[in-house]
Structure formats: C-alpha cells, structure tokens
Amino acid sequence: MKRIIFVFATCFAFSLSLSAQEYKYKVIDKQISREEFLEAYQHRHEYNQVRDTSLTWYTKKKVEVAVFRTLSDEEKEAYIWTDYIIDNIGQYPTGEYVADLWYSNWMGAVFLDEEFQIDTTYIHGSDRAAYSDKRIYVGCKGFNCDPCVWLYFYSHEDGKSARMTKIAEYRNLRWQLPYGYDILPEFDGLDYNNAMVWYKDALYCFGVENYDDENGKWCYRPIFMKLELIQVN
C-alpha cells in the first residue's frame, strides 16, 4: 500500500512539474482551409531550409563519429547492434550539420556546427521536421501506436549557432500527422514528408482528425492547421 501511494505521489509530482514548466513561447492553433494550407505549401521553399543529404561519405562519417562519441555506453552498444540509428545526415544552407537519431520508439536529432562541434542539446522529436528561415526547428515525437500531434520547437540561444533551446511544446490528441495508409483525396499532390511547413512565421500542417460519427463509429477526416508562436511575457 505504501508503495502504491509513493508511486502515485511521484507521478503526481511529475505531472505538476510538467504543467509548471514554462517556455519562451506558447502555441496558438487554428483550423484553416485546404486553400490556405496550399498557399503556404506552394511557398515552402522560400520559408523553409532544405536539408542537403547529398554529402560525401567522408563528411557524413565525420558527423556520425562526432555523434557516436557523445553516446552513453548503453547507447553505443545499441548502435553496434543497429538498434540505435544515426541517419538522414545533412547540412542546411546556414552551414549547420544535422543528424536524426532513432532508438526504440524515440526519435530525435542533434545539430553540429561547421567545425563538427556537436550541440549540447539533443532534440526530442524529429518526425516530419521543418527548419525555418528564422532558424526555428520543429519536429514531432515518434510513436509505436496511438499517434497524436506532439511537437517540440527549438531555436538557437541568443540567435547564435552554439546551442539549441526548447522554446515551445504543442500536444493535441484530436489530430495527427498523416501516414502512408491515410489516403484521402484532399492530400493529392502533397508530400507527406512535408506535412509541416513554415510560412510567414507560422507553421502550417496537414493531417488526420479522429472523431466518432453519429453512431459512435471511429472515423477520420482531413484537417489543416495553422500554429503560431506567441511570446510569453
């Protein structure tokens, strides 16, 4: 009985710590039309930095080695067994390198500068990541089942390339980013890898909304969203 009370108290305290956590920005969401999303989607190359993954083998290995050196012994062992993956290595127009990290159901990323010095901040959430021309990074958390939209926003501390800082977090159980099995006519011509795009300082997304119909049957339909970062006083 004491153990149950202790576990409950620990979980409750952890919940309070999360609710009390403060970020530099809050996220305001708004449902928009498909036409509004297409306007942003068609201008995505103007407001989003494209990751160049056509680097030489040697350059990619330098990034991979730099990341590997920062792993714990447990993570290094998992890497040897190919359970921990360092992949999708590329470079942004800013000169920064980036690598995606996958381990079990966790998906993350890490930035490196042009000298291959690794950022001390490991990013949580790299699914469908988008990096804006204002150098704000956003990615979704990975799931093994029951996905939802759980986004993490990062930017460089003091505008420098030295360190990424988490500036906002957004979670919504009502909708999720689309997957390959979510085939809807409203998504024709859209790249699922670009389900999130920056446009004029806002993040535009397309996804799937879950709902129950009048008979209580679980259904889904397309949804288009606009997320804005509002600075907290």
Distance CA 152, CA 121 (A): 13
E-strand ranges in 38-83 read none
- Indicate whether 2 belongs to any domain: no
Residue type, 220: Y
Residue 203 CB: number of other CB atoms within 10 A? 24
Residue 3 counted as domain residue = no
The residue among 226, 164, 165 whose CA lies nearest residue 200 is: 226
DSSP 71-111: S-HHHHHHHHTTSEEEEEEEE-TTS-EEEEEEETTEEEEEE
Q: Per residue in 46-100, pLDDT tens? A: 999 999 999 999 999 999 999 999 999 999 999 999 999 999 999 999 999 999 9
SS3 call for 152: strand
Q: What's the domain range around 121? A: 23-231
* Residue 136 resides in a domain: yes
What are the pLDDT digits (tens) for 143-194? 766 678 999 999 987 655 558 999 999 999 999 999 877 788 999 999 999 9
Does some domain include residue 151?
yes
Contact assessment for residue 110 and residue 122, using Cβ atoms and an 8 Å cutoff: yes
Q: Judge whether 216 lies within some domain.
A: yes
The model scores a pTM over 0.75: yes
Q: Is residue 60 part of a domain?
A: yes
Give per-residue pLDDT as tens, 12-29: 343 344 444 688 999 999
Structure confidence at residue 104 as a pLDDT band (50, 70, 90)? confident
Q: How many CA atoms lie within 13 A of 24 on its CB side?
A: 11
- Position 18 scores a pLDDT of 42
Whole-number pLDDT of residue 39? 97
**pLDDT tier at 11, thresholds 50, 70, 90:** very low
Into how many domains does the chain fold? 1
